Amino acid sequence: MSPRHLLSLDDLGREGIERVIERAIELKRSPRSDLPLTGQTLAMVFEKASTRTRVSFEAGMTRFGGHAIFLSPQDTQIGRGEPVEDTARVLARMCDAVMIRNHSHVTLEKFAAYSSVPVINGLTDRLHPCQLLADIQTYVEHRGSISGATVAWIGDGNNMCHSYLNAARLLGFELRIAAPEGYAPDPEILAAAGDAARLCDQAQTAVDGADLVVTDVWASMGDEQNRETRLADFANFQVNKALMSWAKPGALFMHCLPAHRGEEVSAEVIDGSQSVVWDEAENRLHAQMALLLGLLNVE
């Protein structure tokens, strides 16, 4: 039997996502004391920098009585060109699950195809499903079900935007995307979302009456080479107080972090009363602990 992976939210489907969120909220409220992953090892391969993803997976494994190994290309044979198929087979012989953050989603899929243990997408150029689990958990904790809500995505049509598109399709919320010309999301992922998503020319149109406003950096990891051009292109897409005033009173603000105050978000919004970014960051831990139990078939 092939293992269960989380490469995209589609691997969980609506019911799977709901189960993870329910379990995450439960774990956060009453942490387990039975160390359900005693003796189990999670390999974590990071081709790109990380604070939250690394710490949340590592701390989650510790809390469950297991262990996580941090692997970077510089210190392993991955960086010296060992084929991904070989690395995948070897890690699966020694570890119980693998988490990967890498540049190319295609490489992640190749890795998963050769892995006999669950593989978790810790961010690729295309998707960031673990962050969405935390974002949905955070929305549910603050406002209840996200189905039927209106969510505004402001800024780059990047990996996070793509995962929001997938979530909108699977969970039934409306996603309005305002991105500058040339930075729209992948047309296939957008089209797959159907009626759940629409592109807006202006940030105000997207935010008008929204329950949740979300943004992310203007230059993702790997896109930094055109930073100056990007800063100019995104100038009208900052989430600030004036923009937030178009949303529903009491609308939430989220950002996966790390944030650049004064660029994609003003300090008064991210540090203000509508921002739930610290809950969102904490929920990476709970959502991924719930995810690990599911993928490793632990009751």
Residues with a known catalytic role: 101, 128, 131, 216, 256, 284
Residue 93: count other Cβ atoms within 10 Å of its Cβ: 8
Q: For the CB of residue 256, give the shortest distance to ligand NVA in the complex, in Å.
A: 5
Residue 41 neighbours by CB under 8 Å, 6+ apart: 61, 66, 67, 68, 69, 94, 95, 96
Distance CA 172, CA 192 (A): 13
Asked if 257 is part of the footprint of ligand CP (rule: CB under 6 A), the reply reads: yes
β-pair partners for 43:
69, 98
Give the angle subtended at the CA of 127 by the CAs of 146 and 224, to the nearest 5°: 120
Name the residues that contact ligand NVA, by CB under 6 A. Answer: 123, 158-160, 216-217, 220-221, 256
Contacts (CB under 6 A) with ligand CP, residues 105-144:
123, 131
Q: Assess contact for 284 and 56: CB atoms under 8 A.
A: yes
- Contact segment (CB under 6 A) with ligand CP among 48-56, 61-69, 142-150, 196-204 equals 48-56
# residues contacting ligand CP (CB under 6 A): 8
Strand order in the sheet with 97-101: 67-71, 41-46, 97-101, 119-121
Q: For the CB of residue 51, give the shortest distance to ligand CP in the complex, in Å.
A: 4
Q: Exposed, middle or buried by CB within 10 Å (0-12, 13-18, 19+), for 90?
A: middle
Distance CA 165, CA 157 (A): 10
Asked if 53 is part of the footprint of ligand CP (rule: CB under 6 A), the reply reads: yes
- Contact segment (CB under 6 A) with ligand CP among 31-39, 50-58, 185-193, 244-252 equals 50-58
- Contact segment (CB under 6 A) with ligand CP among 44-52, 142-150, 238-246, 261-269 equals 44-52
Nearest to ligand NVA of 21, 259 (CB atom)? 259
Nearest to ligand NVA of 144, 222 (CB atom)? 222
Q: For the CB of residue 254, give the shortest distance to ligand NVA in the complex, in Å.
A: 12
Q: Exposed, middle or buried by CB within 10 Å (0-12, 13-18, 19+), for 107?
A: middle
- Contact segment (CB under 6 A) with ligand CP among 47-55, 67-75, 230-238, 260-268 equals 47-55
Nearest to ligand NVA of 140, 221 (CB atom)? 221
Residue 162 corresponds to which tokens in the numbers above?
């793509």
Q: For the CB of residue 249, give the shortest distance to ligand NVA in the complex, in Å.
A: 29
User: Which residue ranges make up the site for ligand CP (CB under 6 A)?
Assistant: 50-53, 123, 131, 256-257
